[in-house]
Structure 1
Amino acid sequence: MAIDELLDEHEQSERVREWLRRNGSALILGIALGLAAIGGWQWWQRHQANQQSQAAGDYQAAVDAIQANDKSAAGKVQALPEGIFRTLAQLELAKSQVKASQNEAAIGTLRAIRTSDQALTAIVNERLARVLIDAKQADAALKLVATGDSLATLEVRGDAQLALGQREQARDSYNKALLKAEVGTPQRRLLELKLTEAGGTPPKTESQS
C-alpha cells in the first residue's frame, strides 16, 4: 500500500474520531431518544389496549346490570368514561327504562348522551323523539327530527306531526318514508297503517296491482 494511501486512511480515521468527539454526546442522545420514542409508543399502544379492554369489561358489567334490572345499573353506566361504550350503554339503559314505563327517566338518560358521531346522534334523536311523543311532548320531539331524510327519521317526524294534529304534513312524511321502505316488510305495513290513520292512501305496489 502506498504511503499516500496510508496517510489518507489515517487522516480519515482522525476526522472520524474528531467528529465523534464533537458530536458523540449528541449522537448518543439521539439514539437514546429514538429508543425512548419506540419504547414510549409501544407503552402507549399497550396502555390504550388495556384501557379498551377495561372499558369493554365495564360496559359488559353495566349491560348485565341493566338486563338484570339491578338498581346499580344507572350508576354503572354513569361511571363509564365518555366514548362509544358509554353511549351504547346509555341507549341500552334508556331502552330498559321505556320498557318499564319510566319515560321521564329514559328522557333524562337520552338527553345526557354526548357523542360526536353523526349516525349515533341521529339514533339518539330518533329514540328520544319517540319517548317524547309518548310523554305528550310532540312539539319537542318534532324539533329533534325536523331535518334528515332517513326512513326512521321520516317515520318519527310523521308520528310527531300526527300527534300535533298536522295531518297533511304527517302524510307527506309517511309517503316519503314509504319510498324508502322495502315492499312486504313489517315496517312498510306499519307505515301504511300510519298513513291511513293520517287520512292518506298507501300507494299500490306491484304485488298489489
Structure 2
Amino acid sequence: MASHLDLEEQEQLDQLKAFWKRWGGLITWVITAVLAAYAGWQGWNWYQRDQAAQAGAMYAEFDRALAAQDADKAAAAAGDLKARFGGTGFAAQAGLQAAKLQLEKGKTDEAKQSLAWVAEHGSEASYRDLARLRLAGLQLDSKAYDEAGKTLDAIKSKDFEALVADRRGDALLLQGKRDEAKAQYQKSLAGLPKEQDYRRIVEAKLSTLGVPAAVETTGAAQ
C-alpha cells in the first residue's frame, strides 16, 4: 500500500515538474508583471497626490499675492506654478486670475501673455476657451481684428458659442459692419439662457443697432 502511494505521489510530482517546466516561466512573468503594475499604480497615485499637494501650496502663495493686489508677485507665483505644475488646474486658474489683475493694473501686454499661456497649455478645455475669449477681447481693444478672429476660431466648445458670437459682433461693429454685427448679436442672444444676466448686455448692443430689446427677446424665444 505504501509503495502504491509512493508511486502515485512520484507520478504527481513528475506531472507538476513537467507542468512547471512548460509554463513556469510564463507564470512567473505574469505574476511579476501584475505586481509591477500594481506597484506602479500605487506609485503613480502617490505621485499625483504629492504633486497636487505641492501645487496647492504654491497656489496658496499666489492667492496671497492676489489678495494683496501685488501684480508682480502674483505673476511670479503664477510663473512658478506654470513651470513646475503646468498640467494642473491650479496653474490654469492662476494664469486667468493673474491676467485679470494685470489688466486692472494697466499691464495689458502681460495680461495677454498670461491668457495666451492658458489658451495654449490650460489643463482643461474650459480653461483654454475662457482664456481665448478674454484674449480676443484684449486683441479687439488693440484693433488686432485678424488675431482676435483666429483666437475665436480656436474656441470649439458649444458652451461658449453664444459668447463667441457676441465677441464676433463686437469685432464687426468696431469695423463698421453694422448689419453683420447685428446678426452675430442676434445669434448670441438666441443662444443665451433666458435667466442669463448677460442677455441684457447683448440686448443693449442690439438696441444701439435699432433692434428693440422686447422684439429681439421674442424672436430669440422662437
Contact 1:129/1:144, CA 8 A, preserved across alignment: yes
**Counterpart in the other structure of 1:47:** 47
Which of 130, 134, 141 is 2:148 aligned to? 141
Contact 2:203/2:216, CA 8 A, preserved across alignment: no
User: TM-score scaled by structure 2?
Assistant: 0.76
CA distance in 2, matches of 1:10, 1:142: 82
- Report the secondary structure of 1:145's partner residue: helix
Change (3 A) 1:181 1:21: closer
**Counterpart in the other structure of 2:106:** 101
**Counterpart in the other structure of 2:163:** 152
- Report the secondary structure of 1:72's partner residue: helix
Q: For residues 142-192 of structure 1, what are the alpha-carbon distances to aligned partners after superposition, in whole Å with 9 as ceiling and x for unaligned?
A: 332247661111111111111111111110000011112233643111111
Which of 176, 180, 188 is 1:177 aligned to? 188
Q: How many residues align?
A: 206
Which of 74, 82, 87 is 2:86 aligned to? 82
Instruction: Please say which structure displays the higher CA radius of gyration.
Output: 1
Change (3 A) 1:176 1:204: closer
> How much does 1:16 deviate?
3.3
Deviates more, 1:128-137 or 1:24-33: 24-33
CA distance in 2, matches of 1:186, 1:12: 81
Change (3 A) 1:72 1:12: same
Change (3 A) 1:16 1:57: same
Change (3 A) 1:121 1:27: closer
- Report the secondary structure of 2:191's partner residue: coil
Contact 1:154/1:174, CA 8 A, preserved across alignment: yes
CA distance in 2, matches of 1:205, 1:18: 83
CA distance in 1, matches of 2:37, 2:193: 54
Contact 1:126/1:144, CA 8 A, preserved across alignment: yes
Contact 1:98/1:131, CA 8 A, preserved across alignment: no
- Report the secondary structure of 1:179's partner residue: helix
- Report the secondary structure of 2:143's partner residue: coil
Same amino acid, percent of matched pairs: 30
Q: For residues 82-111 of structure 1, what are the alpha-carbon distances to aligned partners after superposition, in whole Å with 9 as ceiling and x for unaligned?
A: 223212211111111122232222112212
Deviates more, 1:72-81 or 1:148-157: 148-157
Deviates more, 1:180-189 or 1:22-31: 22-31
Which is richer in helix?
Answer: 2
CA distance in 2, matches of 1:14, 1:74: 73
Unpaired stretches in structure 2, ≥5 consecutive residues? none
> How much does 1:205 deviate?
4.1
Contact 1:55/1:85, CA 8 A, preserved across alignment: yes
CA distance in 1, matches of 2:25, 2:135: 63
CA distance in 2, matches of 1:190, 1:94: 23
- Report the secondary structure of 2:194's partner residue: coil
